[in-house]
Amino acid sequence: MDFRLNAQQELFRTTMREFVDAEIRPVARDWEQEGRYPTEIVAGMAELGLFGMTVPEEYGGLGLDLVSFAIVFEEISRGWMGIAGILGSHALSCAMIARHGTELQKKTWLPLLATGERRTGVGLTEPDAGTDLQGIRTTARLDGDHYVVSGRKTWITNARHADPLPVLVKTDPTATPAHRGMSILLVDAGSPGYEVSRDLPKLGYKGTESCEIVLDDVRVPRENLLGGVAGRGLQQALSALESGRVNIAARSVGLAQRAYDEALSYAKERTAFGRPIAQFQAIQLQLATMATKVQAARLLTYWAAAEGDAGNRVDTQTGMAKMFASEVALECAIESMKVHGGNGYSREYEVERLYRDAILMSIGEGTNDVLRTVIAKSLVSGEARVG
């Protein structure tokens, strides 16, 4: 057993860390508070090839292993978690197209998505269906060699930049079970009837937009049906979410690490009763607990990623990593705020942003409670085991 990154992963982490320290950390607080779109950071990420993380090399991408993929999200979130959002659903959809797309779809889209010349996201959630995706109402009716799509999607990350946007639809709304009638269509954002109708106001996760999309009789060519066969959409989306959970777990680790780093440096600088507060045992207990939890979350995340790299099915492992790491992120953000005293509540310090961003980690890519039920199901059935 070797708990170290290999030489290539180590080098990759150094590159990522230098990028984040130079390009993201110095601007994160101001840009986040201004609600400014991080155009320059996006350009830097494109230069590093990060939009092609999950695109195979033969289509012009980096074809990263899952551990390196985790490193990208961890390091970026150490700087500003909102930026990771720009890459997250893009990477997820690229992986989905690479895994399930027809050869024509891969050749058409992947090279452009790999460079960031075209960007994407994923349109699953609707106003009345999030966890329960089989309850979506967006329909796609076949009319000659086109599907005609009508419905609404909500909370769509990257909505103003995604083109094409893979959208989960019902190609057969009467199918039972419902997932047999569900498909994914790659929808061109320029299509008549496709409208990004509004930006949703939100607590954190700034830097990337979250929007509602209205699809009003949008005509989508039949060849844009992902994989060319109807009825496989839910499985295609769920299989992409399996590795997507590594992304959320890794973002949580980066965020938790930053919360700990901020607490440690503040505790060394801040004095009370004539000495640095880091010398008080109450503060030391918090620092030790945070550091231990961050490292446990990191190991669980890298383990889940390494299991995926070994070719194993990893829904239980990635679920465990995402659930645990996201809870550590929130705990560390709160504890770090407490170490900061009144300043922890101030917008002039980094830690309040970490707190606002941390809670999202328990919601995205499957809420933690739902993941608990998924993990438990595989444990009880014997499909997965611990120890």
Ligand X SMILES: Cc1cc2nc3c(=O)[nH]c(=O)nc-3n(C[C@H](O)[C@H](O)[C@H](O)COP(=O)(O)OP(=O)(O)OC[C@H]3O[C@@H](n4cnc5c(N)ncnc54)[C@H](O)[C@@H]3O)c2cc1C
**Measured from the CB of residue 264, what is the shortest distance to ligand X in angstroms?**
29
Annotate each residue in 274-313 with x if it binds ligand X (CB under 6 A) or - if it does not, as one string.
Answer: ----------------------------------------
> How far is the CA of 156 from the CAs of 251, 367, 372, in angstroms?
18, 16, 24
* String of DSSP letters for 25-63: HHHHHHHHHHT---HHHHHHHHHTTGGGTTS-GGGTS--
**Measured from the CB of residue 167, what is the shortest distance to ligand X in angstroms?**
9
Give pairs for 196-201: CB < 8 Å, separation 24+.
196/159, 196/160, 199/160, 200/154, 200/155
Contact with ligand X (CB under 6 A): which of 52, 61, 116, 121? 121
Judged by CB under 6 A, how many residues of this single chain contact ligand X? 22
Site for ligand X in 69-108 (CB under 6 A): 89
Q: Which stretch binds ligand X (CB under 6 A): 123-131, 171-179, 281-289, 327-335?
A: 123-131
Q: Are 233 and 168 in contact (CB under 8 A)?
A: yes
Contact with ligand X (CB under 6 A): which of 44, 49, 60, 130? 130
Beta bridge partners of residue 153, listed in sequence order? 213
Residue with tokens 């299509």: 191
What's the CA gap between 88 and 55, in Å, rounded?
13
What's the CA gap between 238 and 249, in Å, rounded?
17
Q: Which residue in 32, 335, 365, 383 is the catalytic one? A: 365
Beta bridge partners of residue 377, listed in sequence order? none
Beta bridge partners of residue 157, listed in sequence order? 210
Helix (H) or strand (E) holding 197: strand 194-199
Site for ligand X in 153-182 (CB under 6 A): 155-157
**Measured from the CB of residue 292, what is the shortest distance to ligand X in angstroms?**
27
Active-site annotation holds for 365: yes
Contact with ligand X (CB under 6 A): which of 8, 131, 197, 312? 131
Nearer to ligand X by Cβ, of 41 and 240: the residue is 240
Q: Are 32 and 77 in contact (CB under 8 A)?
A: no
Q: Using CB atoms within 10 A of its CB, is residue 260 exposed (0-12), middle (13-18) or buried (19+)? A: buried
Nearer to ligand X by Cβ, of 255 and 283: the residue is 255
Site for ligand X in 356-375 (CB under 6 A): 360, 363-364, 367, 369-370, 373
Contact with ligand X (CB under 6 A): which of 123, 166, 227, 319? 123
Nearer to ligand X by Cβ, of 34 and 369: the residue is 369
**Measured from the CB of residue 128, what is the shortest distance to ligand X in angstroms?**
8
**Measured from the CB of residue 362, what is the shortest distance to ligand X in angstroms?**
9
- Mapped onto helix, strand or coil, the DSSP state of residue 167 is strand
Contact with ligand X (CB under 6 A): which of 9, 102, 115, 125? 125
Site for ligand X in 203-232 (CB under 6 A): 205, 210
Q: Residue of minimal CB distance from ligand X?
A: 130
What's the CA gap between 210 and 198, in Å, rounded?
9
Give pairs for 347-354: CB < 8 Å, separation 24+.
347/33, 349/262, 350/28, 350/29, 350/258, 350/262, 351/259, 351/262, 351/263, 353/28, 353/29, 353/32, 353/80, 353/204, 354/81, 354/255, 354/258, 354/259, 354/262, 354/329
Q: Which stretch binds ligand X (CB under 6 A): 58-66, 74-82, 120-128, 245-253?
A: 120-128
Counting contacts by CB under 6 A, is residue 138 touching ligand X? no
Nearer to ligand X by Cβ, of 184 and 283: the residue is 184
Nearer to ligand X by Cβ, of 16 and 91: the residue is 91
Annotate each residue in 185-204 with x if it binds ligand X (CB under 6 A) or - if it does not, as one string.
Answer: -----------------x--
Q: Which residues sit at the interface with ligand X, rule CB under 6 A?
A: 89, 121-125, 130-132, 155-157, 202, 205, 210, 360, 363-364, 367, 369-370, 373
Give the residue numbers marked as catalytic.
365
